[in-house]
Amino acid sequence: MDFLQDINMIYILLAAIFGLFMAWGIGANDVANAMATSVGSKAITLKQAVIIAAIFEFSGAYLAGGEVTETIRKGIIDSAPFQHEPNLLIWGMLASLLAAGTWLLVASHKGWPVSTTHSIVGAVVGFAAVGVGMEAVSWGKVGTIVMSWVVSPLLAGTIAFLVFTSIQKLILNTNDPLRNAIKYGPIYLFMVGFVISLVTIKKGLKHIGLDLSDGQGLMIAVIIGLMVAILGLVLIRKVRIRKSDDKQFSFSNVEKIFGIMMIFTAAAMAFAHGSNDVANAVGPMAAVIGIATSGGDIANKTGIPAWVLLVGGLGIVIGLATFGYKVIATVGKKITELTPTRGFSAEIAAATTVVLASYTGIPISTTHTLVGAVLGVGFARGIASIDLRVVGNIFMSWIITLPAGAVLSIIFFFMLKGMFA
């Protein structure tokens, strides 16, 4: 253990640097996914997206991110093979951060919306299986995670299809779409506030000392949902309606109303993303720091230091601001043409799916979820509205991500082992 004690500050420093790099990749690629529908439909600008992300990514990570962080930190690998050589786990987690961050840099440069969850899970499984042994991987947990990657886009696509179909029937395909948009808009916003707050209250607040009963949680969620609906109604009534705008595009004023509503879904999507995907950077960092500060104790239950969440949040915001525009262009504009009504449907579906996954502690792919939701909206309009070539390229990048993360992680693991062993 003297070995660990002598260089634990080096490990912590490397964890911070590599974690910041990984968080930057999450911002450049994954947060861009979260904001793509809002920016792509012109409901908000990129600058506004960065501000919303800065506030709500932090909130989601802190209030509801603990379950997924624990899965990334300890759930994917079996700690038993590392008990006598904890430095193997440190090198592996550092290699995983560096590998996933490197792949995200490549993918973001190409404008591919890949999965940061795929990247980090592939990296952790890669170093553990090849660098240590197949027995070091908790294959049952990995199987559950992989299944969730199939289920989540299907669930989000189904919800998005149903939401957009309901908007078509209740608002767009009626005699007075504008009046019905004002009438039903607050009801949709109530759904946003209710679902996000209920899942957060049920799962996320225990670690800050609030353990509410089911009844109390439900009551608070209803109140928050009503507050969101009322605030939305106030903002909707301030929208400048011009009848002349509808002559060029018959739903122009309706889309203005949904543009206001998308501010709420953008915030919900950022919160949901923070609750699930910030763990991809914070989980391995927390594992390295926990082992280094406890003198090599694999089973330590130390909490995540506040500065680790700060590093994760800071990296994410910088990544979105500097490189996020490329992935935003792919998801927000190239899969199918998005308007505020379509973007709203996709975001409410994706946010609901992601927070439900955070509730169960499963690290799903936000990328898969949002792309699935956008496809669901596209199918509601007819398959001819989807650019299948772009979708094919996205699917190929998804398939490549898992082995890419694993191979890079194995290379970096043996490099670090050679340097420090």
Compute how many other C-beta atoms are within 10 angstroms of the C-beta atom of residue 240. 7
- CA 81/CA 409 separation, integer angstroms: 18
Question: Which comes out higher in pLDDT, residue 410 or 249?
Answer: 410
Q: What would the mean pLDDT of 346-353 be, rounded to a whole number?
A: 83
Confidence of residue 69 (pLDDT cuts 50, 70, 90): low
pTM: 0.77
pLDDT in tens, 112-126: 778 787 888 889 888
**269: which 2 tokens?**
């999507």
Residue 68 has pLDDT above 60, yes or no: no
Helix or strand run (H / E) with residue 275: helix 252-277
- Parent domain of 209: 2-420
Q: Name the H helices within 278-365.
A: 279-293, 306-323, 325-329, 340-360
86, 4 Cβ separation under 8 angstroms: yes
- Determine which of 64-73, 176-185, 278-287, 351-360 has the lowest per-residue pLDDT on average: 64-73
pLDDT of residue 301: 59
Task: Give the Cα separation of 77 and 142 in Å (integer).
Answer: 9
Run of H or E including 368: helix 366-381
Q: How far apart are CA 247 and CA 42, in angstroms?
A: 20
Q: Supply the mean pLDDT for the chain.
A: 79
pLDDT at 358 over 80: no
Give pLDDT tens digits for 229-274: 999 999 988 888 877 766 766 678 888 888 888 888 888 777 777 7
- Please state the domain count of the chain: 1
**Treating both helix axes as pointing N-terminal to C-terminal, what angle do 306-323 and 2-25 enclose, rounded to 10 degrees?**
30
Residue 210 has pLDDT above 70, yes or no: no
More confident residue, 331 or 403: 403
* SS3 assignment, position 81: helix
Asked if 267 and 52 touch (Cβ cutoff 8 Å), the reply is yes
Return the pLDDT at 246: 66
Structure confidence by residue, pLDDT tens digits, 317-339? 788 778 877 777 766 666 666 77
Cα distances from 127 to residues 136, 322, 348, 409, in angstroms, run: 10, 30, 36, 6
